[in-house]
Amino acid sequence: MKRSDVDTALEVMRGLFPETPLQYNQHLSNRFGADIWLKREDLTPVRSYKIRGAFN
């Protein structure tokens, strides 16, 4: 995979769905002793990360 492939996929996704936030999770961070951030793709209109695969 080339960088240009990633850039192209990013542009396709930007045109279809809003960006989703990263959310810090204090509970998981404390439990595992690391900074844990969750990518909230469940907030997209279809509530799934799998939609990306259909377009790439």
In this model, does residue 26 exceed pLDDT 80? yes
Q: Are 51 and 44 in contact (CB under 8 A)?
A: yes
The helix (run of H) or strand (run of E) holding residue 37 is strand 37-39
Q: Are 24 and 37 in contact (CB under 8 A)?
A: yes
Average pLDDT on 5-18 reads: 83
Among the listed residues 50, 55, 41, 48, the one whose alpha carbon sits nearest the alpha carbon of residue 10? 55
Q: Are 51 and 13 in contact (CB under 8 A)?
A: no
User: Number of helices and strands (H, E) in the chain?
Assistant: 3, 2
Is 54 or 5 the better-scoring residue by pLDDT?
A: 5
Give the residue numbers spanning the domain of 46.
3-55
Q: Name the domain count of the chain.
A: 1
Q: What is the pLDDT of residue 23?
A: 98
